[in-house]
Amino acid sequence: MEYFHRQYNRPGSAPGMVEAGDEAPPTEGWRIRLVRYDAARFEDRDGIDLDAALAPAPGLKLWLDVAGKPDPALLRRLGERFGLHTLALEDVMHAGQRPKVEAFGDQVFVVLNMPLWRERWLAIQQVSLFLGADFVISFHSGSADIFEPVRRRMESSPGGRLRGNRADYLLYALTDLVVDQNFPILEGYGEELQEIESILVGKLTANLQERIHETRRELVFLKRALWSQRDATHSLLHKDIEQIAAETRLYLRDCHDHASHVLELVENYLDMAAALLEMQLANINQRTNESMRVLTVIATIFIPLSFLVGLYGMNFDTSSPWNMPELGWRYGYLFVWVLIVAVAGGMLAYFKRRGWW
């Protein structure tokens, strides 16, 4: 995961979407999907050009979904057509913003963070939403159709809440999808922590500590993103925003509850990861102590044996009465071995009785 990636205007530049001379061609393409709808009619067009997206459609509500990296020209034309504020467009252009809710006149701008799996790594994707009187415009990076479940619900339920209510209900549905996307991600982290715990109880592996650190690090960054996201859903619920109807606020309350639940799960998993790390370190210390105990017992046994071997390893003239008489014994060598075995066996029995071995 690229944790510290962020785009921004040059320090000291004028506030707004993009500076003059900064209109370099984008490194990624973008794709526009157009949905026009009301309670009875539904039109879904994917991969259209900008002119078709900007064509008026009286009597129908509009949802424009821009996937990929938009270029400044696209954002300028959308801003001119729908009256989008340049400061909000700058946040769309420079992804990596914290989740927030801002009101610009008769429009609402929402920034959310959506976690995704990309080849085993966690990626935090910015989702930007504009709400107007009869339109919603969404921006997100990547080519995946992250809002497909909402679009299927709209298509399959004529006269339902999504198509019968105002555009603010569509904003709620998109926000709720982004918030709920955290649950399967956290389920994966829960399974990872359970697997690590089962390994800790059994056999110790070399890369286990690295797995715990990696999981804990990603949970920390996920918590950072979700903390602001909970505040953003709280702002949608309690801020005095005229564009959001009282009926929609009831559903946003449930969305805020989900955001709080997700944040609590992340905090619980962080505590679990910290406990598993402590358990891993305790296991390592315990096994180190066991190894040191065995080595200490072996070294303690060999101390008197080394003394005996060193004592009888000295060479003296056996004719002197002050020399060791054992050097002239017929069974002197056998006597030394019996003495060595007796000392070692006696010490092992003593250690066993005291519980040191």
207 and 346 share one domain: no
Q: Give the relative orientation of helices 208-238 and 182-201 as an angle to the nearest 10 degrees.
A: 150
Q: Residue 21 domain-assigned?
A: no
pLDDT over 70, % of the chain: 87
pLDDT at residue 205, rounded to an integer: 59
- Asked which of 263, 283, 303 is the last residue of a domain, the reply is 283
Among 20-24, 38-42, 291-295, 337-341, the minimum mean pLDDT is found in 20-24
Element (H, E) at 199: helix 182-201
Percentage helix, strand, coil for the chain under 3-state DSSP, each rounded to 5: 55, 15, 30
107 and 226 share one domain: yes
Q: Is the pLDDT at 25 greater than 50, yes or no? A: no
Mean pLDDT of 218-243: 81
CATH, residue 336: 1.20.58
Show the domain range for 73: 30-283
Phi, psi (rounded to 5 degrees) for 158: -65, 135
123 and 214 share one domain: yes
Task: Name the more confident of 5 and 262.
Answer: 262
86 and 114 share one domain: yes
Q: Residue 74 domain-assigned?
A: yes
- Asked which of 257, 283, 309 is the last residue of a domain, the reply is 283
Q: Residue 58 domain-assigned?
A: yes
Mean pLDDT of 15-37: 66
Q: Is the pLDDT at 256 greater than 90, yes or no? A: no
303 and 276 share one domain: no
CATH, residue 57: 3.30.460.20
Sheet holding 135-140, edge to edge: 42-48, 30-37, 61-68, 135-140, 121-131, 107-118, 100-104
Most confident option among 100-109, 198-207, 279-288: 100-109
Q: Are 17 and 72 in contact (CB under 8 A)?
A: yes
Among 40-44, 51-55, 249-253, 315-319, the minimum mean pLDDT is found in 315-319
- Asked which of 258, 283, 308 is the last residue of a domain, the reply is 283
Residues 300, 305, 306, 308, CA torsion sign: positive
Helix (H, G, I), strand (E, B) or coil at 41: coil
Q: Is the pLDDT at 176 greater than 80, yes or no? A: yes
Q: Give the relative orientation of helices 246-312 and 182-201 as an angle to the nearest 10 degrees.
A: 20
| The two structure tokens encoding residue 216 | 């804990």
Rounded Cα–Cα distance for residues 139 and 118 (Å): 19
201 and 329 share one domain: no
Q: Are 98 and 111 in contact (CB under 8 A)?
A: yes
198 and 317 share one domain: no
Q: Residue 234 domain-assigned?
A: yes
pLDDT at residue 139, rounded to an integer: 95
220 and 349 share one domain: no
330 and 271 share one domain: no
Q: Residue 5 domain-assigned?
A: no
pLDDT at residue 33, rounded to an integer: 93
pLDDT at residue 317, rounded to an integer: 66
255 and 330 share one domain: no
Mean pLDDT of the chain: 82
190 and 310 share one domain: no
pLDDT at residue 42, rounded to an integer: 92
Among 26-35, 100-109, 337-346, the minimum mean pLDDT is found in 26-35
Among 19-28, 104-113, 338-347, the minimum mean pLDDT is found in 19-28
Q: Residue 158 domain-assigned?
A: yes
**How many domains, the chain?**
2
Q: Is the pLDDT at 15 greater than 70, yes or no? A: no
Mean pLDDT of 99-128: 86
| The two structure tokens encoding residue 192 | 């990872």
pLDDT at residue 117, rounded to an integer: 76
Confidence of residue 24 (pLDDT cuts 50, 70, 90): very low
Q: Is the pLDDT at 270 greater than 80, yes or no? A: yes
* Tens-digit pLDDT profile for residues 145-171: 899 999 999 998 888 888 989 999 999
Confidence of residue 7 (pLDDT cuts 50, 70, 90): low
Mean pLDDT of 105-126: 84
DSSP string for residues in 76-139: HHHHHHHT--HHHHHHHHS--PPPEEEEETTEEEEEEEEEEEETTEEEEEEEEEEE-SSEEEEE
Q: Residue 7 domain-assigned?
A: no
Q: Residue 6 domain-assigned?
A: no
35 and 155 share one domain: yes
pLDDT at residue 281, rounded to an integer: 78
